Structure 1
Amino acid sequence: MARKILFCVSAMSSGGAERVAANLANAWVERGYQVTLVVTYSKRGECFYALSDKIQLCYLSDLVGSFDRLGLFVQFKRLFALRRLIKTIQPDVVLSFLTNVNVATILAAWGSGYAVVVSERIYPPMEPVGRFYNILRVLTYPYAASIVVQTKMGMQWIIENIRGAQGSVIPNPIPYPLSVFEPKLAPQTLLADGRKLLLGVGRLADQKRFDCCLMSFATLAKRYGDWDLVILGEGPLRGALESQIRALGLESRVHLPGGVGNVGDWYARADLYVMSSSFEGFPNTLVEAMAHGCAVVSYDCDTGPRDIIRDGEDGLLVNPVGDVTALTSALDQLMGDDKRRERMAQKAVDVRERFSVESILAMWDEVFSKIIAQQGKNRHRST
């Protein structure tokens, strides 16, 4: 009998959590599972990531009405609408991503008899959720059937801060090859043949510290005149980064083309990948770049890169985080050594097996199977 999964996410924009949600949902429906993807906070709109037409997509705003008004009344309407949906679908498991959605989903399912699995998508200390949601997280998470995190350090934080929490460590699955969707932009539209590409991918926001990346590249640009830097993504710091590029005199060498749906083409074209984030959960883009045969350079932030990169073998970890001189030195080592960079690139593709969709789905299946079995026992005792 096909499993039924009710999957709650806050939105389906271009973020990392949304990308993983799309990947998992697509993989599960191809296995024959029934998946309902519930967008809980954003209004109806197009999904940035391609979704199978076998997935039932539901916007909570359609069930609640206007989200424009704030206050407890609207919040309660959301909770009751989600609770009605859970009871209507009668899923084997309710899965939720991100703290605010996790708390709401646990509250909505409270006493319904349906098990909730919640997942933190980033290392909690590095992305404060505010006092209110932190208290709610501590109070509600013990009632989750399981708490899934992406790294061992994340699990340690859960154990130390959530009394009685039950959890598992499950990395993100990385499909290879990546799906292609709009908007598409061919690398050759920006890069001439023979130019070498240093690539970064991510939201143009404080977390990603692309300002550090620009400063490092500015130091190296004259020495490596055949290299260009491209940063794919969109975000609130576009204006500041464009101003920095102009101030550094790099307008012809650095490009910010925005988000693209054919990012796999860019990974394949890249000669080296750089991640300058100050913190991460489990960075999809880093693994995707490696799966396409890129050596990588990344700051060694608390969680994520060190769970992926085998330092000195398929990439370089840079310390301390935020140190531009250290990042410049690491980039210099690989930009200036074609043979070493190519050796690392050959090792990097091992992530295709280490984080394959099948291996990660097996981890999720193990969590779901235990929960479903326990629910069966509970029902048997109650009859």
Structure 2
Amino acid sequence: MMNVERIDLMIVIHSLRGGGAERVAVDLAAGWRERGCRVMIVTQTDGREDAYPLPDGVQRHALGLAGDSAGPVGALWGNLLRVWALRRLVRRHRPAVVLGMMTRGSVLAVLAARGRARVIATEHAHPPSLSLPAFWERLRRSTYPRADAVVALTRGTAQWLDEHLPGVRAQVIPNAVRWPLVDGEPLLEPPCVPGRRRLLAVGRLHPVKGFDGLLRAFAQLAAPFPDWDLTILGEGEQREALESLRDELGLGERVSLPGRVGNMAAWYGAADLYVLSSQAEGLSNTLIEAMACGLPCVATDCDTGPREIIREGLDGRLVRPIDDPDALAAGLAELMADAGLRSRLAGRAVDARDRFGTARIMALWEQVFQGERVN
């Protein structure tokens, strides 16, 4: 029989299409590969729609079992096929650790690898804000207590998991910011217009990101702050609706939606203020990146996420209530009107490079991989 290389770390995730968890999976793979580990990323999809390139030296195995199933019987059969395929891969490569990314990847990892590797389940969204089919809710409830460790991005999510999944004692490891930021595709240079200031927002164009409320807030600020423009970077299902709302509010000359870009460092560097308008967040990679780049930030105070990143009054502002354009406009106006305040907050925001630095976060993962608790 042909020899098969044994894997140190196997990361299980649906795809490497755009998304925070997908980028974290790639960053973790790269980090452990740099430490000399043999790493494999297992996806349901192939690489044709990847948003993030595979790190050098990291293996990729596509199960080819993506897609929706017809009805509950079809869904059950489809998931059995995924478990069997992943189990065969685990038997073949004998990984030391199998890391499931997000609920579905974590459930599949536990079902396929429990007893054959150290299995770690992770949550990258706050469960109350993410509706799951009842089938997956039941599977999470039955499988997570059987994982060797369950990891959440925030204390709020860890507390929810402990309270709602008997037998789980979740641990907290936030996402790391890889500093300096690395460029990817597509490359799009930010506009540089003398005398103009830029308010920047980044995220998937989805209702949960609250960009409609952000547009309504900016509509209140456009007249009193005539030298400020708003840029929303990202792509998604709400593009047409947001463009229509922008035009309806008379902001066509002041608000741009260029799409997704890969050279985020350039866009953070060209901005004067960052805003996160989300109704819910797992953590928020973009908020951490913006702070690491020295941007003062205003963020809605979601149930989890921003309040564990921004230190209120020290390196940013939190806005309450989260679904109120008036409150968001007031929070933004305070910083837009005061260059000195922006400078003071930005001076402390860069602490994010250490607070969420790769070395610190990787050390926490190493503890979990070795069976130690991190909190």
TM-score by length of 1: 0.92
In the TM superposition, what is the alpha-carbon distance from 1:68 to its structure 2 partner? 7.0
- Which blocks of at least 5 consecutive residues in structure 2 are unaligned? 1-5
2:57 aligned partner? 54
Instruction: Measure the CA separation in 1 of the matches of 2:165 and 2:216.
Output: 40
Structure 1 residue 98 corresponds to structure 2 residue 90: no
Give per-residue Cα distances to partners, 1:97-152, cap 9 Å, x unaligned. 11112112211224x42221010001111112122111111111111000000111
Q: Tell me by how many angstroms 1:193 deviates.
A: 2.7
Does structure 2 retain, via aligned residues, the 8 Å contact 1:60–1:78? yes
Within 5 Å, give how 1:215-230 maps onto structure 2.
Answer: 215-230=216-231
CA distance in 1, matches of 2:169, 2:249: 50
TM-score (norm 2): 0.94
Q: Which residue of 2 aligns with 1:338?
A: 339
Measured in 1, the distance between the counterparts of 2:68 and 2:300 equals 39
What is residue 84 of structure 2 aligned with on the other side? 80
- Output the CA distance in 2 between the equivalents of 1:247 and 1:365: 51
Q: Is the 8 A contact 1:145 1:166 kept in 2?
A: no
Give 5+ residue unaligned stretches, structure 1.
372-383
Rounded Cα–Cα distance in structure 1 between residues aligned with 2:195 and 2:180: 24
**2:159 aligned with 1:150:** no
1:170 aligns with 2:177: no
Measured on the aligned residues, the alpha-carbon RMSD in Å equals 1.5
In the TM superposition, structure 1's runs of 4+ consecutive aligned residues that sit over 3 Å from their partners are: 66-70
**TM-superposed deviation, 1:223:** 1.3
Number of corresponding residues: 363
Residue 115 (structure 2) pairs with residue 116 (structure 1) = no
CA distance in structure 2 between the aligned counterparts of 1:53 and 1:31, rounded to whole angstroms: 13
In the alignment, does 2:33 pair up with 1:32?
Answer: no
Secondary structure of the residue aligned to 1:132 is helix
Match of 1:374 in 2: none
1:5-27 per-position Cα deviation (integer Å, ceiling 9, x unaligned): 00011111111111111111111
Say if 2:100 and 2:108, in contact at 8 Å, map to a contact too. Answer: no
Q: How does 1:13-28 map to 2 (within 5 A)?
A: 13-28=17-32
**Letter of the structure 2 residue corresponding to residue 9 of structure 1:** I
72-81 or 251-260, which deviates more: 72-81
Give, in angstroms, the shift of residue 218 of structure 1: 0.9
Aligned to 1:357: 358
8 Å CA contact 1:184, 1:261 repeated in 2: yes
Shift of 1:166: 3.5
Change (3 A) 1:357 1:143: same
Structure 2 partner of 1:5 = 9
1:38 shift after superposition = 0.7
Offset from partner CA, 1:239-292 (integer Å, 9 cap, x none):
000000110111111000000000111011110000000000110000000000
Distance 2:232 2:335 in 1: 18
Pair 1:45-2:48 in alignment = yes
Identity of aligned residues (%): 45
Counterpart amino acid of 1:78?
Answer: R
Contact 2:18–2:52 at 8 Å: present in 1 too? yes
Q: Secondary structure at the match of 1:225?
A: coil
